[in-house]
């Protein structure tokens, strides 16, 4: 007996509004095969799966906003899935010597600085709503583009060396600028608000 999609979701205790979170969770799980394919130097397949994960990010965002399916869990799961995928790819590509170790270190340090700063601000000042800066958004775009071009160059299609080198330096510049922006903005807000008692 055929079941309509809504009944299938009901049997699984899921609803249509859970779709964005399911997509984000699948993107998080996709990190494992992407890393495996990179380590096995199956760059074509790794690129295909990485791009599919990127497209899924756009899909879950569209569904959440268009249908009003935003949730607290989705607000956490979506950026975590994105960040884990990016950082994990950079670590593996750095280990394979396809991306300079100093750039990987800079990216990881910036992310740790942001996470640590956010936790400290929440604990010592007030609840923090993170609003990405223009430099942070640009940095994310450049990181994604760098991974795509490096993996493309390593496998399916060799690219001119200058394109990747230029992107590496642009990525580093936005890492420094965006990290500094967060430190500056949160430091000023903390100075204005003052520290919590106790």
* Helix 19-29, helix 43-66: angle, nearest 10: 160
C-alpha span between 148 and 59 (Å, rounded)? 19
CA-nearest of 198, 134, 133, 146 to 172 is 146
Residue pLDDT tens, the chain, 198 long: 455 555 544 445 667 778 888 888 999 999 999 999 999 999 999 999 999 998 888 887 777 777 778 777 777 788 888 889 999 999 999 999 999 999 999 999 999 998 888 888 888 887 777 678 899 989 999 999 999 999 999 988 999 989 999 999 999 999 999 999 988 988 888 888 776 665
Structure tokens at 193: 């608000």
End-to-end CA distance of the chain: 62
Specify whether the CB–CB gap between 134 and 178 falls below 8 A.
no
C-alpha span between 2 and 94 (Å, rounded)? 49
pTM greater than 0.85 (yes/no): no
* 30: three-class secondary structure by DSSP: coil
How large is the C-alpha radius of gyration of the chain?
A: 19
The residues, any chain, with a CB within 8 Å of residue 175's CB and separated by 6 or more, are: 103, 106, 107, 110, 139
C-alpha span between 28 and 76 (Å, rounded)? 12
CB atoms within 10 A of CB 89: 26
Specify whether the CB–CB gap between 51 and 89 falls below 8 A.
no
């Amino acid at each position: 007996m055929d079941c309509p999609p809504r009944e299938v979701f009901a049997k699984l205790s899921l609803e249509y509004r859970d779709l964005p979170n399911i997509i984000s969770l699948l993107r998080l799980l996709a990190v494992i095969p992407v890393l495996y394919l990179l380590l096995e130097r199956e760059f074509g397949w790794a690129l295909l799966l990485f791009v599919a994960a990127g497209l899924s990010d756009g899909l879950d965002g569209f569904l959440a906003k268009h249908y009003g399916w935003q949730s607290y869990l989705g607000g956490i799961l979506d950026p975590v899935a994105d960040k884990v995928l990016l950082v994990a790819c950079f670590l593996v590509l750095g280990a394979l010597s396809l991306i300079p170790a100093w750039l990987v270190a800079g990216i990881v340090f910036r992310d740790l600085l942001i996470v640590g700063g956010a936790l400290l601000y929440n604990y010592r000042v007030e609840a923090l709503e993170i609003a990405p800066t223009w430099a942070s958004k640009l940095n994310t775009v450049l990181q994604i583009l760098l991974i795509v071009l490096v993996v493309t160059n390593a496998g399916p299609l060799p690219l001119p060396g200058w394109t990747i080198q230029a992107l590496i330096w642009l990525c580093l510049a936005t890492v420094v600028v965006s990290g500094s922006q967060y430190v500056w903005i949160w430091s000023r807000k903390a100075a204005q608000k003052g520290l919590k008692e106790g």
